[in-house]
Amino acid sequence: MASPVAATIRDLTVRYGANVDAAVDRVSLAVEPGELFLLLGPSGCGKTTLLRAVAGFVELGPDAGTIHFGDEDVTRLPPHARNAGMVFQSFALWPHMTVFENVAFGLRERRVSRTDVAARVEAALASTRLPGMGARRIDELSGGEQQRVALARALVVRPRCLLLDEPLSNLDAKLRQSMRAEIRRLCKEYGLTTVYVTHDQKEALAVADRIGVMSRGRLLQVGRPADVYRRPRSRAVAAFVGETNLLRGRVVEVTPREALVESPVGKLVAARDDAFAPPAGADVWISLRPECLRLVEGGAAPNTLRGRPEEVTYLGELAERRLRVAETTLSLFELNPRADARGELTIHVDPTDVVLLPVDEAGGDGAP
């Protein structure tokens, strides 16, 4: 396997035709050697276009910016000269070829000797847990096995960078979960620099070393999964990554450690965050994750709210309960829900889980 290298994108812009809005708009990003980086965002946000630009599949190349693998500028190189492995959403396997022939295709294009082809294909099949299956036809394989063949084909060329475009979207829910772990195992076992595109938030949180959230061609936030989830930097990120309750509020008082915020559900105390510390009088968005709202037995501590039950939605491992607090409905997640809960209920949220977000930040007022 080739030594992993950094993948560096600087001010990349890609436009299609005469469209005023760029599909990718001045994106800069550095993926470290051996890092598993997830590009997350809704359909049409530009994440697949960005991945295809890195792979060299954007016709005529990007409109502006550069792409480097290590110290080499690959911006204008054709795909085969970049030595990147690509796994497509559709797997893109040739049905008239055997598993062995599909995996060997890239090596034969590179004129690798027959002996080396056989050895490397067998090693790739073994690493993806398909030993002895080289003679099988593609239509004899399950969806998960086809996904492993696609991964083996990408790995066998010893890529400097592995690029994955929605690789699990065609699999059922249970198989997706097992393949998440498999892809992470392979990337870490081979030390691959990996850029992985998905619209599935749970997939991103489970697999990534770091996540980049995209919206309308721009990169809104980059960080570790826990940081992006717990400390989003805009309303768009908070709304797209997981579930949240979003409220408009106004800061009425600040101290070195906390901010007091007026909201539609009453006054809330938020722990101060150096990344965004609005002054008194500032308008803000307030993000309250449903799992951070806890049912309690009464109490008068700060951030204690009272509400009337509206409905409960059973979700298997937990339930989503909706409560009417003042004139606002809040969602909370509850394990072992009280099916007979009636009358007024009391909930509490810790100040560290009251996340304040800017109102006027780019992308902050709309959905991603």
Domains of the chain: which residue ranges? 7-230, 235-358
Asked whether residue 363 carries a pLDDT value surpassing 60, the answer given is: no
Tell me the percentage of the chain whose pLDDT exceeds 90: 69
Instruction: State residue 138's pLDDT score.
Output: 93
Residue 61: per-residue pLDDT: 85
Q: Distance of CA 74 to CAs 16, 116, 139, 207, 257, Å?
A: 21, 27, 36, 27, 47
| CA distance readout (Å), 121 to 72, 108, 118, 128, 240 | 28, 11, 5, 11, 40
Look at residue 66 in the predicted model and tell me its pLDDT: 97
For residue 179, the model assigns a pLDDT of 87
Task: Please tell me if the domain spanning 7-230 has the same topology as the one spanning 235-358.
Answer: no
| Backbone angles phi and psi of 79, in degrees to 5 | -55, -45
- pLDDT of 239 higher than 90: yes
Mean pLDDT, residues 24-35: 96
Measured CA to CA, the distance from residue 120 to residue 132 in angstroms comes to: 13
Contact present, 368 and 45 (Cβ < 8 Å): yes
Contacts of 232 (CB under 8 A, 6+ apart): 221, 238, 241, 287, 355, 357
Q: How far apart are CA 227 and CA 100, in angstroms?
A: 42
- Per-residue pLDDT of 190-231, as tens digits, reads 899 999 999 999 999 999 999 999 999 999 999 999 999 999
The confidence score (pLDDT) of residue 170 equals 81
What average pLDDT does this structure show over 172-179?
Answer: 84
User: Is residue 317 pLDDT above 80, yes or no?
Assistant: no
Q: Which residue has the higher pLDDT, 49 or 362?
A: 49
Could you read off the pLDDT of 252-288 as tens digits, one per residue? Answer: 999 999 999 999 999 999 999 888 999 999 999 999 9
- Determine the pLDDT at residue 52: 94
- Beta strands 36-40 and 193-198, pairing class: parallel
> Within the chain, where are the H helices?
47-55, 79-82, 99-109, 114-127, 143-155, 173-190, 201-207, 225-230, 235-240
Reading the block at residue 112, the tokens are: 């690798």
Please provide the CATH number assigned to the domain covering 235-358.
Answer: 2.40.50.100
pLDDT at 1 over 60: no
Is the pLDDT at 294 greater than 50, yes or no? yes
Strand order in the sheet with 328-334: 294-296, 345-348, 304-314, 319-325, 328-334
Say what the pLDDT of residue 338 is.
61
Q: What is the mean pLDDT of the chain?
A: 90
**With contact defined as beta carbons under 8 Å apart, do 258 and 273 qualify?**
no
Q: Is the confidence at residue 368, as pLDDT, over 50?
A: no
Among residues 233, 334, 329, 325, the alpha carbon closest in space to that of 291 is found at: 334
pLDDT score recorded for residue 4: 77
CA distance 197 to 204: 9
pLDDT band at 364 (very low <50, low <70, confident <90, very high): very low
pLDDT of residue 125: 93
Q: Who wins on pLDDT, 130 or 315?
A: 130
pLDDT in tens, 59-94: 888 999 999 999 999 999 999 899 999 998 888 899
**pLDDT level of residue 365 (50, 70, 90 thresholds):** very low
Torsion angle (degrees, nearest 10) of CA 163, 123, 119, 52: -10
Tell me, what's the pLDDT at 20? 58
What phi and psi values does residue 98 have, to the nearest 5 degrees?
Answer: -75, 170
In the chain, beta strands by DSSP E: 7-14, 24-31, 36-40, 64-69, 72-73, 84-87, 161-165, 193-198, 210-215, 218-223, 245-254, 258-263, 266-271, 283-288, 294-296, 304-314, 319-325, 328-334, 345-348, 355-358
Q: What is the CATH number of domain 7-230?
A: 3.40.50.300
Question: How would you list the strands of the sheet with 266-271, edge to edge?
Answer: 266-271, 258-263, 245-254, 283-288, 355-358
C-alpha gyration radius of the chain: 24
